[in-house]
Structure 1
């Protein structure tokens, strides 16, 4: 894990041709094993970024002025002269970075062995989480994408446009036609979609409806922190079979309901749906679960129910939610999947006439609004207004959409089935009586 020759070759290549630095975007001083090589590499990078020529003479002069001894001109000259090919600099750099990663992994393994044998007070689960965080944080082997000239990228993009004209898009339809239309075909991989609502509005039912539809053709992982697997399966059976949930829970199904339940069971058996029930998830837990499913089976959609039940590092809840939100967005891009995360809304919405959610109602952190590509709110007037004329209806509010329209959609909500349905029907208009104030009350 100390292939010094590769370190020497990288530095030698840079001394021969400063432009070779731009082919090594991920290489950092800490990747080098020898301290002298770290110092030399740092100085070369500094000089190049300042627009200066970095060769054995100029680098050694810079060191002499500051009294730094890294072998002097003789050593720098040997590095430059002994490097056979500047073109191989990326190959040498890859070796240096691989060695650095191996050293880091060896250090983590050593620390794990020491901690597990000496620390008898810290729970093993806490130790495991710290080790997982260390491993997940490794970026030494991460490869950056190179900038692409727009005219070159457009050549490939024309193929994408051709596929779109033929109806072949990369979007994943969620199963509700009006919402898919607003979202230009559905949700996209790499995106984080937030579904927000106050309690009892139906956000779990809505997300489960979406997950069951997508799981017909795509691999879907549903992480539940509040409901157990049995509870989710009861809801799936009710919505897919259109069977009264109370009859399922009480075991009092009529012959017709048994038929619907049997049909739902057959459909659930065919779904590519993975359910995981664990409370108090950390972002590292979510990463591990998603990566494991992705590696073993493939993964297209991850659903997290719900954000505020997760825990994370930070001095306060706002910082914790920021870390979790950013982590979920990064995970969507890393695994090339769509991530749907459910979120509670704060109580301010209950103080507002009509109680319709807005973006500022997202609870605990403004970073949720910032990180999300799409934000959808669910509002059912009948939940907070017993005399509502809109019973059985739900307002689905698309309040943020980076790549499409925003607006409101009216849907039917069949509470007995925990089922949302598209509809062209419109609820009766509610006529509210407002008391006139001041002089107006005498008019």
Structure 2
């Protein structure tokens, strides 16, 4: 039998307020996870804010001091009268934290109810069903993303995950994020991390699609992860052929013409590659004219079905304009997409990699090396992205004709921007490390291996004067 859950717990609201007036020290714990908006009654929420404010000023919150802060509550009731009633009716502070947790639960239940009402309204409103389904998914995902983590933590609590990551990396585990498997590029980027928006930009033919899809294949094939690729320009058959050529190391022409079957070595390589790719969780959506909201809808659905580790979108300018969009300027529209992809990355807790075109004007410059301002259509990409990678290959030079590609990481929030060279192997649809690179700087070399204590013990044994 279903039991109805009340959306309001007025006794618990009074219980929290009374407990904090009797024992203000609880403000430290309760204030870390309970918000004023979690109270259903506006007057109670206002009282809660005043109590926290008094405690922060080291003033004991009682009916008189609270009335000094604000004589009347939002309803017009007298602050002193309401506070005195609450303090009288709640004689003990022992269950304050428990009451606060009840308030958080009821607040989330009210949010769930409100989302349900909005979904009903959405279903009864005339509009494009795919777009409305995307809006509905976004509402539910936003609700689900709420957690019970405190708004404020101590520095020691914040340092804990840092030392755990340090230990895991020393132990050979990759926990910070995803790498490209390309030594010089990975030294610069230092992994693309959960919640990152990564832009890979270049003129046609420079290999930006290869760099993005190679990343997806690496995560799925070599790390047993999951990748979703939106290919708005290239059909899935072409992507599959490229992945096969890259993994097998067999010329794409041999695969297209069937020559690979006639060559024993190539056939062996392809057989081994197929075995790996068959098990790899790479999902491809090659539908054309997808709108931004539809891309997000598909991504959320796939992430719920099985957690994704990366999303690759090829490419930004091919995202179709939403028929219901009120944005008339294409630059502003694409800017809204990059903000949206950043929000999606944070919402799903995974990196989103978006490929972008560079402006054609780069070809008319004396020095055609790309700059941040060359990103086509949207100047907002620069502020939204966490990492911006630009690929450039000078086809008028000998090394450019041989596939040597300049990679400029012009923005990376967690490291220093720099550049490197990669070898583009177009026949195999892949990038590899470039040979004959300059010696590694002294400061970048790994420290000599020595007996060490665990990184966690460094944090646990650290005891500064006064403590945390």
Deviation at residue 236 of structure 1 after TM alignment: 1.1
Determine if contact 2:424/2:431 at 8 Å carries over to the other structure: yes
Q: In structure 1, how many angstroms separate the alpha carbons of the residues matched to 2:362 and 2:100?
A: 54
Q: Is contact 1:112-1:131 (8 Å) kept?
A: yes
C-alpha contact (below 8 Å) 2:219/2:227 kept by paired residues: no
CA distance 1:91–1:112, shift in 2 (3 Å):
same
- 1:126 aligned residue: 131
Aligned residue in 1 for 2:419:
408
Mean alpha-carbon deviation: is it higher for 61-70 or for 228-237?
61-70
Question: 1:221–1:290: 8 Å Cα contact kept in structure 2?
Answer: no
1:418 aligns with 2:429: yes
Q: Who is 1:181 aligned against?
A: 187
Q: 1:184-216 CA deviation, whole Å, 9 max, x = no partner?
A: 4x4333433321112232211121122212212
| Matching residue within 212, 221, 232 for 2:217 | 212
Q: Is 1:237–2:244 an aligned residue pair?
A: yes
Question: Does the C-alpha gap of structure 1 residues 279 and 50 become closer, same or farther in structure 2, counting only changes over 3 Å?
Answer: farther
RMSD, aligned α-carbons: 3.7
Q: Deviations 1:39-94 (Å, cap 9, x if unpaired)?
A: 44455456667776542223346654689533653432232233365464443333
Q: Which runs of 5+ in 2 are unaligned?
A: 1-6, 438-468
CA displacement at 1:331 relative to structure 2: 4.2
CA positional deviation for 1:224:
1.2
2:456 is aligned to none
User: Structure 1 residues 116, 14: CA separation in 2 closer, same or farther (over 3 Å shift)?
Assistant: same
Q: TM-score, normalised by structure 2?
A: 0.75
Looking at structure 1, the residues matched to 20 and 335 of structure 2 have their Cα atoms a distance apart, in angstroms, of 40
1:196 to 190, 195, 201: 201
Q: Distance in 1 between matches of 2:300 and 2:254?
A: 38
User: In 2, distance between residues paired with 1:146 and 1:380?
Assistant: 47
- In the other structure, the counterpart of 1:435 is none
Structure 1 residues 133-185: Cα deviation after superposition (integer angstroms, max 9, x where no partner): 3334448944455545445655664454444445445353322222223344x
Describe the superposition over 1:279-331 as per-residue Cα deviations: whole angstroms up to 9, x where unpaired: 55566655554554444433332323233344687744454444443443444
SS at match of 2:198: strand
Q: 3-state SS of the aligned residue for 2:106?
A: helix
Gaps of at least 5 residues in structure 1 are 427-443
Query: Does residue 305 of structure 1 match 2:322?
Result: no
What is the SS of the residue equivalent to 2:246? Answer: helix
Q: Counterpart of 2:308 in 1: which secondary structure?
A: coil
Match in the other structure for 1:362: 375
Give the TM-score, by structure 1 length: 0.79
Q: Which residue of 1 is the match for residue 385 of structure 2? A: 372
* Cα deviation, residue 375, structure 1: 2.1
Q: What's 1:135 paired with? A: 140
Query: Is residue 218–residue 300 contact of structure 1 (8 Å, CA) maintained in 2?
Result: no
Asked if the contact 1:16–1:86 (Cα under 8 Å) also holds between the matched residues in 2, the reply is yes
Task: Specify whether residues 406 and 34 from structure 1 end up closer, same or farther in structure 2 by C-alpha distance, changes over 3 A only.
Answer: closer
